[in-house]
Structure 1
């Protein structure tokens, strides 16, 4: 939704087709021995040479040379306990085969390289080597926790693929299919150990080693050492210290579920441990459990009133709880935060307003109003479950190829998949709520093996491609760009490279005749009603905008989501004869050419618009006349700037009415004391704000009482479009040198 889908662009479609052909070719060698064509020395030399070459390369700016992330055919993660797996060696592996019931014990023999996966050459116990490709691990295996030369690991149920260059590699997509083994583990052969663990290494020694790793920022190794401390029969005092230290390491590495378990264990034996209470409150905060975090802080404040850091964190948790309960946000402050932070992941809570999830008649579950709402009312304001930010240059963009779904997208979807997989893997308590959005995909029904979360990467990938939203940094900036531009199609269908996943928003079904509007501030999505809605009304917004200016592109193609839109607009389009649509398209093209001429011939344009209106038979209040909207609006702006204010009002109202608005009291001459009233709200887009401001401009001379009312509707429409109206006066002004009120200095 608003992501950059390039599945039908020839230059990118070719990449998808090549990947499909590669998979077909790979089937021909399935089951063949995975014996490398090169010697061990050749494999090592080639890897190191390519690594040095890539380190010298700059990120390509040519879109065709984007890094491509390829999702192969889906396969399930290993769900067998490790005790049920049998060890195999590299020379017994077969190509294009998932070796179920087997595992590899490996050691890295090179530093890592990173493109779309973390790569290294690994060897088994007899010295056979292959390339290892770990997907969705890039951010985890960085810094002090990087995959260093000599790292020992287990790959469960290994899969050997034929890579694009014809060489072989062990591909791992699921995080739980690889274990990083500490040097002291019994699985590590003596020949691979730098030193043998001494029998007299006690709990204190392991705790000291854990502290050393923590100080270096290697939280994974620190957790392993603190766990070893707990296994070494520590004293009661040392046991508590080790659990608290492990909890802190877990907090630092975003393992909030594990941190919570450790501090709960400490609180069972030391009910008033300040560190345990503080770290519990922190873990609950990061899991968005703000009420419980505040309750924990209340105990902490009562027992340890002098703890200033705890007081600060308590205030932060209390602020989030207020947002969560009331939906009251300082949106202007949030915009400043979004423009300052990179990535713009804001520290704010999710507010769920008068909405509820219910079953629909034909489109699964959807979101419905729980009470009557008015146009502009806040339905919910949701923090992204995960958000992948793109800065705006070529760096960081990837071409994501999904063969199973036959999709190609450009943006940060690959990064988003990695972020979500990591978050779920580290915090399995979040799994049930997330996998609620999988559609018909059949995944494994095992959530944990050997106390490790099992996360199906391909399930996450499917959910991201079906339910993620492309998003601007701030919708106000997108709105301003739209209003300053002159390409109507681009305005209506702006695509974004940043993207995120919002759980509540994912329940909203598509309709071209949407009744809600989404907007963004950083990783916060704001959803407001775009018309008055009675209770029990399904909330909808468009996945793809129908307002692209080309009648031949209606009804909107929703094959990606597996359904057809059944709104009255699409039903009407399907009922028309092809000749009518061709006439509509031809006349629309004629209008575009007329508006592009150096001198506007308003009479000719009005006659052509009348011809276009003749291709419609149902009133706009029933079926919006989208092909007429932009022409009416352009005429209104032309007449307003020419001083013909009566015609400006006439065509401004007609523009709104073409979107389905039903407006009373706005015609000229104005009936004394008759208010300007929107009886029915129509489709909402950025241009509606400018249209109301054009009316406001004209009414100042023709019917001054209506000017302020039109200005009020402009501000309300702005709130719906950008999510807030606190910045309206920084963006629009009646005294602007533009007839649509947009300030030329707005940015």
Structure 2
């Protein structure tokens, strides 16, 4: 939703086309058994491709038959087989982690492993350790886009398993006897050394081995306790929680303070704040003067703040903005969702509905992202390792979108509870596997996750406040689209269905999505917003094409009107669009007679239903506002009021206002929005221009207009606490009225 499709950028389009041609060439060799496997040589970067979707292996390793590299056929998934390989070279991370591997017959090939952790979290040399052994389940053998180079490609994280040196699946010639591995204590000490060096992935691996070889419950307890810390640092709170609980189950005495604190920390990271508070209270009672007890006391305040946010929807927005300056802009806040619920929406699957009556601008949802990714604000169209080309859709993912997929895969692989929720989101026609666990490991279908991500991802600015205020002043970076290098999946918000005429508006502060009502809503109202914002001057067919990704046609009133609009009227509008664009104008200044004539002709192309109060006519909005601003600059405030009001009315607003053209001088002066229409970024500016106009002819209305500007700001930005910071001159106006 509002995700930039870079597939049509010239440079990237060429890469997509080249990749598709090479993929077809590779496919033509399907079934071949090559005999020209390369010798070991330095690796080099290869463009990353997402192949045609295929399911993960759901068979136990013991039930798979061994296969050798020399037996593998090109472009083939070798179902029912397994291979154990040894890593020969140091790996590199170019989105896929790549290394040269060999089987026990000495045949070498490149191994490409996708959707592994980012290198700064788990170094690639820890994911594929040189000299170590890996089980590849039902290997996919293909040729890369570099002719003559072959690889085994692993797209599903559950299809590769790291093997300990004594594992029975390792060929006898490579396998080490168990006695040479070391004791649980000695291995745990190695893990402790890795912790001191902050090598968290290495520490986690060593503690896992220490657990496997433990002879006493005390050794097991300590290894679980230490692995809990490593998992916390690796961003795997569900596993950290399980380890902390297991460490307590290995001990008959009172729970250790470290175990309790790590449980509490994991619960905090899982947003289980009530359970977290309970653990902290147990800890502070049992160990009031210990180091962990003092840390717990400090943490209690944070947890209570999260619970307050969760229960009331009251947030410290100033603190949120400060946190949003970091990259990535991850906000330490809880989700508030009391006024909404997910339920069935007839003909639409599931949707999001109000649980009570809400007023325009009221907070409906403030949600922490399920998964969130971003690139630096000054990076754009990076055609390096972060560019993924999807061969099925012939589209390209770049930057934050490419990173988000691997992040989601990792999260679901290490958190079965999260996977159970996430995989219920809409995935179109994709049919995932039904097996969720094999050999004690989570089965993760990368292509299912990718499809869910594609249909539910939101593009987002770092903050809507910065994006909206910059856009209203035509900031070049915003105009070039660089406000949406951040993206994420918000689980609750993902249930909202589309309408070109939304009744709510979303905004962002870092990875928090804020949803506010844009009109008064009754209990049980389905919340709708646009997946792609409607563009003026498009035909019905052109507009519906924008929703092909989701596979629906919008049936809002505006779309239905476009559907019945004649080709002649559409052609006339596009001709008038060219005339409008050819007007010689400075910013916010137009030739009024010509502009008014164009507006008159545009209005004639709409049906009677499209000109009723509350109907939306996007084609006229910009020009009405431009004429209003020009009238204000030329010293005609009444004309400015009239044209600005018409711009609002073209967005579906129903406004009671006096004075305006056509009202009697003796009528009571009033300004009131009876029904809000579509809230756009420049609505705040339009209200401010209206304030300036009324300040000259009816200054007593300035307060009311500013109040509505503040409401529009709140809807667009997510909060109104910074309204007078952005528009300090309005404080003076308010003081004078």
TM-score by length of 1: 0.90
Distance in 1 (alpha carbons) for counterparts of 2:96 and 2:546? 33
* Correspondence for 2:638 among 631, 646, 650: 646
Give the aligned partner of residue 32 of structure 1.
32
SS in 2 for 1:639: helix
The answer to whether residue 273 in structure 2 is matched with residue 281 in structure 1 is: no
Q: Which residue of 1 aligns with 2:699?
A: 704
Q: Which residue of 2 aligns with 1:262?
A: 243
SS of 2:484's equivalent in the other structure is: coil
Task: Name the residue aligned to 1:605.
Answer: 595
Q: Unpaired segments of 5 or more residues in structure 2?
A: none
| Aligned partners of 2:724 and 2:731 also within 8 Å | no
1:546 match? 534
Aligned pairs for 1:189-200 (under 5 A) are 192=174, 198=179
Residue 143 of structure 2 corresponds to which residue in structure 1?
Answer: 162
Find the counterpart in structure 1 of residue 78 from structure 2: 99
Shift in alpha-carbon separation, 1:736–1:348, aligned structure 2, 3 A: closer
More moved, 264-273 vs 91-100: 264-273
Worse-matched range after superposition: 652-661 or 668-677: 668-677
Structure 1 segment 231-270 matched on structure 2, within 5 A: 231-268=212-249, 269-270=252-253
- 1:182 and 2:174 are equivalent in the alignment: no
Q: 1:735 to 1:326 in 2, by over 3 A?
A: closer
- Residue deviations 1:471-494 (CA, integer Å, cap 9, x gap): 111111110121101999959x88
- Asked if 2 retains the 8 angstrom alpha-carbon contact of 1:390 and 1:396, the reply is no
Cα–Cα, structure 1 residues 217 and 36, in superposed 2: closer, same or farther, change >3 Å? farther
Aligned-residue offset at 1:147:
2.9
Q: What is the alpha-carbon distance in structure 2 between the residues aligned to residue 332 and residue 351 of structure 1?
A: 18
Partner Cα distance (2:277, 2:125) in 1? 33
Aligned to 1:742: none
Matched residue SS, 1:78? coil
* Segment of structure 1 superposing worse, 368-377 or 252-261: 252-261
Q: Deviations over 1:392-449 (max 9, x none)?
A: 2336844432232343344421110000001111112211110111232101111111
Q: Is 1:369 equivalent to 2:354 in the alignment?
A: yes
**Equivalences, count:** 714
Give 1:624 deviation, angstroms.
0.5
Partner of 1:745: none
1:94-146 deviation per Cα after TM superposition (whole angstroms, max 9, x unaligned): 11111112111111111112223111111111211000111111515417735
| Alpha-carbon shift at residue 188 of structure 1 (Å) | 4.4
Match of 1:60 in 2: none
Render the CA deviation track for 1:169-223: whole Å, top value 9, x for unaligned.
1100011111122335454457557x86536943323332332343344444433
Unaligned ranges ≥5, structure 1: 55-66, 740-747
2:583 maps to what in 1?
Answer: 594
Aligned-CA RMSD value: 2.7
Deviations 1:325-377 (A, max 9, x none): 111111122112101x1111111111113111121122211111111111111
Q: Match for residue 323 of structure 2? A: 337
Counterpart for residue 485 of structure 1: 474
Per the alignment, do residues 736 and 168 of structure 1 end up closer, same or farther by CA in structure 2, a change over 3 Å counting? farther
- Cα offset, 1:705, TM superposition: 1.9
Q: What secondary structure is seen at the aligned counterpart in 1 of 2:659? A: coil
**SS of the residue aligned with 2:498?**
coil
- Which of 64, 81, 94 in structure 2 is aligned with 1:115? 94
Distance 1:93 1:544, change over 3 A: same
Q: How does 1:429-448 map to 2 (within 5 A)?
A: 429-437=417-425, 438-448=427-437
Q: Tell me which of 448, 459, 465 is aligned to 1:459.
A: 448
* Matching residue of 2:566: 577
In the alignment, the residues of structure 1 paired with residue 377 and residue 392 of structure 2 have an alpha-carbon distance, to the nearest angstrom, of: 29
Equivalent-residue separation in structure 1 for 2:256 and 2:731 (angstroms): 61
* Structure 1 residues 525 and 489, CA gap change in structure 2 (3 angstroms): closer
SS at match of 2:682: helix
Q: Distance in 2 between matches of 1:537 and 1:258?
A: 39
Is 2:337 the counterpart of 1:348?
no
Q: Deviations over 1:204-243 (max 9, x none)?
A: 2333233234334444443344344344453343332222
For residues 111 and 337 of structure 1, the distance between their equivalents in structure 2, rounded to whole angstroms, comes to 37
Q: Report the equivalent of 2:410.
A: 422
Structure 1, 203-212 or 98-107: larger mean CA deviation: 203-212
Indicate the larger mover: 383-392 or 726-735.
Answer: 726-735
- For the 8 Å contact 1:145–1:217, the answer to whether it is kept is no
> Is the contact made by 1:580 and 1:615 (CA closer than 8 Å) also made in structure 2?
yes
CA deviation after TM superposition for structure 1 residue 698, in Å: 1.3
Structure 1 residue 690, shift from structure 2 partner = 0.8
- Give the C-alpha shift of residue 733 in structure 1: 3.8
Match 1:212 to one of 193, 210, 215: 193
Correspondent of 1:474 among 442, 463, 470: 463
Aligned equivalent of 1:81, options 32, 41, 60? 60
Flag the 1:597–1:425 CA change in 2: closer, same or farther, 3 A: closer
SS of 1:484's equivalent in the other structure is coil
Alpha-carbon contact 1:635-1:651 (below 8 Å) kept: yes
Structure 1 Cα separation of the partners of residues 24 and 644 of structure 2: 57
Moved more, 256-265 or 142-151: 142-151
Q: Determine if the alignment matches structure 1 residue 525 to structure 2 residue 513.
A: yes
Distance in 1 (CA, whole Å) between partners of 2:671 and 2:116 is 58
Alignment CA distance shift 1:292-1:527 (3 Å): same
TM-score by length of 2: 0.91
Report if aligned partners of 1:223, 1:250 keep a CA contact under 8 Å in 2: yes
What is the rounded CA distance, in whole Å, between the counterparts of 1:545 and 1:728 in structure 2?
Answer: 25
| 1:672 CA displacement | 6.1
Alpha-carbon distance between aligned partners in 2 of 1:671 and 1:212, rounded to the nearest angstrom: 85
